[in-house]
Amino acid sequence: AAAPIQAVDPNDSKSVDAMMCGPSTEIFLPDPQRQVAPNVRLEHLQFMSPDDPCGRNFKHDDVTLLHDHLKVVAASSLSKSNATFSIMVQYTLTAGSPPVFEMRTMDAPDTENAQLTDFYNAAKALKAFQPSVGTVYVAIQYKISPATTPSGGG
């Protein structure tokens, strides 16, 4: 049986936005663009704005631009990794306030601490966009695998 259709008041823009846009948006990139380094892969690139579910308070290209800068950081900081783990970063971008940066790692061994510190410091220093009003959250997750080294032969 089909679920009953809920009536939405067309004059209530917040409920129309919530129904049409949802809580968050994921940006899907073609597979070759997901590989930011031979051993670093973009798993998720999402954004959401609780103040504007349809994200009219910023240019969506700004999310992609932020990722373009972060993938350079990820490639340079993590391309020599010798472990398999994930990194999730979140930028909290609020109109009129400096960005707030958070980072979480999953299954990262202590041997990766120096590279993770380099990544954290460079990612935190990135300049991010500001929404015109309210807050925007941008979440980016990378999967890191051991770097492969060319075998010597001859």
> What pLDDT was estimated at residue 33?
84
For the chain, give the percent of residues with pLDDT over 70.
Answer: 82
Q: Is 80 exceeded by the pLDDT of residue 5? A: no
Cα torsion for 76, 82, 85, 91, to the nearest 10°?
A: -20
In the structure, what pLDDT confidence band is assigned to residue 32 with cuts at 50, 70 and 90?
Answer: confident
Distance CA(96)–CA(74), nearest Å, equals 28
Residue in 21, 16, 27 with CA at minimum distance from that of residue 61: 27
Q: Which residue has the higher pLDDT, 1 or 41?
A: 41
Distance CA(127)–CA(86), nearest Å, equals 23
Residue type, 122: A
Phi, psi of 112, rounded to the nearest 5 degrees: -95, 5
Two tokens, residue 142: 């990378």
Distance CA(23)–CA(119), nearest Å, equals 29
In the structure, what pLDDT confidence band is assigned to residue 10 with cuts at 50, 70 and 90?
Answer: low
Q: Is 50 exceeded by the pLDDT of residue 15? A: yes
> What pLDDT was estimated at residue 107?
95
Longest dimension (CA), the chain: 74
> What pLDDT was estimated at residue 100?
96
Can you list the alpha helix ranges (DSSP code H) found in 6-112?
A: 13-21, 31-34, 61-78
**Structure confidence by residue, pLDDT tens digits, 57-73:** 888 899 999 999 999 99
For residue 92, how far is the Cα from the chain centroid?
11
**Structure confidence by residue, pLDDT tens digits, 81-117:** 999 999 999 999 999 999 999 999 999 999 999 999 9
What is the mean predicted confidence (pLDDT) over 140-148? 93
> What pLDDT was estimated at residue 50?
87
> What pLDDT was estimated at residue 153?
44
Q: Give this prediction's pTM.
A: 0.82
